[in-house]
A and B are shown apart, each in its own frame.
Chain A
Amino acid sequence: MPHEPYAVEMRGITKRFGTITANRAVDFALRKGEVQALLGENGAGKTTLMRILYGLYHADEGDIFVDGQMADIRSPRHAIAHGVGMVTQHFALVPPITVTENIILGYTDRFNIDLDAAHNKVAEASRRFGIAIEPRALVKNLSVGERQRVEIIKALYRDAKVLILDEPTAVLAPQEADELFESLKRLRDSGLSVIFISHKLHEVMAITDRVTVLRSGELAGTVNTAETNQADLAKMMVGRETFGVTKSDVNGRQGDIALRLEKISALDSKELVALKEISFEVRTGEILGLAGVSGNGQSELAQVLEGTRPSTGGRVSANGREITNAGPEQIMATGVGRIPEDRHESVVAEMTVAQNMALEHLHEFVRRGMLDKKRIRAHAETLIEAYQIKARPNDRIRTLSGGNMQKVILARVLERNPSVIIVAQPTRGLDVGATEYVRQKLLEQRQRGAAILLISEDLDEILELSDRIAVIYEGEIMNVLPAAEADIERLGLLMCGVSV
Chain B
Amino acid sequence: MDDTLFVTFLVGLIAATLRVATPLVYGSIGEVITERAGILNLGIEGIMFLGAFAGFAVAAKSFEAGIGGYLWLGLLGAIVSGVLMALLMGLLTVTLGLNQHVSGLGITLLAIGLSLFGFRLVFGESSVLPSVDPFSQLFVFGETPILGPIFKQYLLTYVAFLVLVPLAWWLLYRTSFGLELRSVGENPEAADAAGVNVFRTRYLALVIGGALMAVGGAFLSIAQLGAFSPGIIAGRGWVCIALVIFARWDPIRATAGAVLFGAVFALQLRLQTLGFDLPFEVFLALPYLVTILALAITGRNANYPGAYLKPYRRE
Contacts and interface: CB of A to CB of B under 8 A. Distances in A.
Interface of A: 17, 54, 56-57, 75-77, 80, 86, 88, 90-97, 101-102, 104-108, 110-113, 115, 154, 158
Nearest to A103: B194
B157 interface: no
B224 interface: no
A108 B195 contact: no
A77 B195 contact: yes
Contacts of A97: 179, 182-183, 186
Given A57-B314, A106-B180, A111-B176, A76 B192 contact: yes
Interface string B291-315: 0000000000001001000000011
Interface residues of B, number: 23
B174 A56 contact: no
Contact of A92 (B174, B175, B179, B189): B189
Given A56-B314, A113-B176, A106 B194 contact: yes
A217 to B, nearest CB: 16
A435 B216 CA distance: 59
Given A77-B195, A95-B187, A108 B176 contact: yes
A75 B180 CA distance: 16
Given A56-B314, A101-B179, 20 more contacts: A56-B192, A56-B315, A57-B314, A76-B194, A92-B192, A94-B183, A94-B186, A94-B190, A95-B186, A96-B303, A97-B179, A97-B182, A105-B180, A105-B183, A105-B190, A105-B191, A105-B196, A106-B180, A106-B194, A113-B176
A105 B194 contact: yes
Nearest to B305: A96
A168 to B, nearest CB: 15
Interface in B250-300: none
Given A75-B192, A97-B179, A108-B179, A17 B315 contact: yes
B99 interface: no
Contacts of B314: 56-57
A97 to B, nearest CB: 7
A94 B175 contact: no
Contacts of A105: 179-180, 183, 190-191, 194, 196
Contacts of B136: none
A97 B184 CA distance: 12
Nearest to A88: B193
B193 A107 contact: no
Contacts of B315: 17, 56-57
B161 interface: no
A80 B314 CA distance: 17
15 contacts: A54-B193, A56-B193, A76-B194, A76-B195, A80-B195, A90-B189, A91-B190, A94-B183, A97-B179, A101-B179, A105-B194, A106-B180, A111-B177, A113-B175, A113-B179
B144 interface: no
Contact of A112 (B175, B190, B191, B303): B175
- Residue among A80, A86, A112 with max Cβ neighbours from chain B (10 Å): A112
Q: Which of B174, B190, B192, B306 has the most CB of A within 10 A?
A: B190
B229 interface: no
B306 A95 contact: yes
B195 A107 contact: yes
* Best-buried of A17, A90, A97 by chain B (most CB within 10 Å): A97
B268 to A, nearest CB: 38
B194 A154 contact: yes
B313 to A, nearest CB: 11
A110 B192 contact: no
A403 to B, nearest CB: 21
A93 B193 CA distance: 9
A76 B193 contact: yes
Nearest to A271: B301
Contacts of B306: 94-96
A93 B192 contact: no
Contacts of B187: 92-95
B197 interface: yes
Interface in B61-84: none
Interface in B2-57: none
B271 to A, nearest CB: 41
Nearest to A107: B195
B175 to A, nearest CB: 5
B226 to A, nearest CB: 38
A149 to B, nearest CB: 16
Nearest to A90: B189
A158 B195 CA distance: 10
Contacts of B180: 105-106
B87 to A, nearest CB: 22
Contacts of B177: 111
B109 to A, nearest CB: 29
Contact of A110 (B176, B190, B193, B196): B176
A80 B186 CA distance: 22
A244 B155 CA distance: 76
Nearest to A81: B195
A112 B183 CA distance: 16
Nearest to B174: A113
B125 to A, nearest CB: 50
A3 B303 CA distance: 55
B186 A96 contact: yes
A96 B307 CA distance: 12
A75 B306 CA distance: 22
Contact of A77 (B183, B190, B197): B197
A90 B193 CA distance: 11
A115 B191 contact: no
B195 A93 contact: no
A108 B180 CA distance: 10
A91 B179 CA distance: 18
A76 B188 CA distance: 13
> Which of the listed residues A76, A104, A106, A112 has the most CB atoms from chain B within 10 Å of its own CB?
A106
Contacts of A101: 179
B300 to A, nearest CB: 13
A86 B175 contact: no
Contacts of B190: 91-94, 102, 105
A91 to B, nearest CB: 8
Contact of A106 (B186, B189, B191): B191
A20 to B, nearest CB: 12
Contacts of B194: 76, 92, 102, 105-107, 154
Nearest to B301: A271
A142 to B, nearest CB: 14
A104 B180 CA distance: 10
Contacts of B176: 104, 108, 110-113
A39 to B, nearest CB: 23
Contacts of B192: 56, 75-76, 92
A102 B196 CA distance: 12
A92 B186 contact: no
Contacts of B191: 94, 105-106
Nearest to B182: A97
Given A17-B315, A94-B182, A112 B174 contact: yes
5 nearest CB pairs, A to B: A92-B193, A108-B176, A92-B190, A106-B195, A106-B194
